[in-house]
Amino acid sequence: MKKFLQLSYILLAVLALSACKIDRGESVMAVGSSAMQPLVEAAGEQYSGKHVGKFINVQGGGSGTGLSQVQSGAVDIGNSDLFAEEKSGIDVSQLVDHKVAVVGTTPIVNKEVGLTNISMDDLKKVFTGEITNWKEIGGSDLEVVLLNRATGSGSRYTFEHWVLDGETAKKAQEQESTGMVRQIVSTTPGAISYVAFSYVNEDVHPLAIDNVQPTDDNVMTNKWPIWSYQHMYTKGEPTGLTKEFLDYMFSPEVQDEIVPQLGYIPVSSMEVERDAEGNLLTD
């Protein structure tokens, strides 16, 4: 009888452990670009709401972090504003690219700057430190306060690639988070930085460049050149829940609803296509 009770307790313990495993469900970890974070979080929450016991965990950290983490196998998905080829130290042969959207990047300024438009040449001079007061280009008498994204940020790479044209930005304060960049610009007179279109709100002023407005339509035709694909990289072809979630990212529920609602552009809406070096591709 005693032996029977012991076996019963063991069986109950095994069943309890199994139940715990079921309760924990399945999960996917996606890490990287903060510009992509709102999109992947929203899609992940919607997906989890439709699939009980399946969880999508999303963290920022920047495109460089996403690429290195997915390459090492530490996460299931690496979110990136960059092509993997643009990040040194990444073995592109191990990774599979899933382009889920496009996002434009725009310079933003504090409302007291007094400008709504800037030439590309002047924008470059602002970020290289040649222009130090906004009154030099028709703005308010305020010192220019530069704010950069951290090294490894896909947004920073995209902005510097198209604006600085190979020159080095003036050393300035750096921030990991796009949301923090927007907050600092909104509360610092004279401040300028850059964010994805999806982060622009009434607290900051986006700047037109050479009288071209930072709009989705101008991105689609490449009239506004500061844009990038939103990549979700996997190490090898995705399987299991990772594949299920990526398939969901390309579903009409995400592409036709969440993507435009959050300020991103479906890849299918683009009238142009670019490669990793920024070259326009033609048929």
CATH at 90? 3.40.190.10
Q: Rounded to the nearest 5°, which phi and psi values hold at 266?
A: -60, 140
Helix, strand, coil percentages in the chain from 3-state DSSP, rounded to 5: 40, 25, 35
Q: 205 has which bridge partners?
A: 109
Q: Dmax of the chain from CA atoms?
A: 93
Give the pLDDT score at 177: 84
Calculate the alpha carbon distances from 103 to 43, 166, 185, 192, 217 in Å: 16, 22, 20, 19, 11
Q: Residue 273 falls within a domain, yes or no?
A: yes
Which are the contacts of 78, defined by CB distance < 8 A and separation ≥ 6?
Answer: 30, 31, 32, 66, 67, 68, 69, 70, 71, 95, 231, 232, 233, 234
pLDDT at 278: 86
Domain count, the chain: 2
The last residue of one of the domains, among 180, 204, 220, is: 220
Under 8 Å between Cβ of 58 and 87: no
Q: Do residues 137 and 211 both lie within one domain?
A: yes
CA atoms 241, 244, 246, 252: torsion sign: negative
What is residue 153's predicted lDDT score, i.e. its pLDDT? Answer: 83
Domain end point (choices 171, 193, 220): 220
Both 198 and 255 in one domain: the answer is no
175, part of any domain: yes
Count the Cβ atoms, other than its own, within 10 Å of residue 180: 13
Closest to 81 in 3D by CA, of 26, 155, 168: 155
DSSP state of 74: S
Show the domain range for 140: 104-220
* CB 164, CB 124: distance < 8 Å: yes
Taken in order 146, 219, 237, 27, the sign of the CA dihedral is: positive
- Is residue 207 a part of any domain in this protein? yes
> Domain ends where: 194, 220, 246?
220
pLDDT per residue, tens digit, the chain (283 aa), is: 555 445 444 444 444 444 444 445 799 999 999 889 999 999 999 999 999 999 999 999 889 999 999 999 999 999 999 999 988 889 999 999 999 999 999 999 999 999 999 999 999 999 999 999 999 999 999 999 999 998 878 889 899 999 998 898 999 999 988 889 999 999 999 999 999 898 899 999 999 999 999 999 999 999 999 999 999 999 999 999 999 999 999 999 999 999 999 989 999 999 999 998 888 886 5
Question: Rounded distance, CA 242 to CA 108, Å?
Answer: 35
Place of tokens 């490669």: 275
Question: Do residues 108 and 211 both lie within one domain?
Answer: yes
> Are 250 and 184 part of one and the same domain?
no
115 and 90 together in one domain: no
177 shares its domain with 266: no
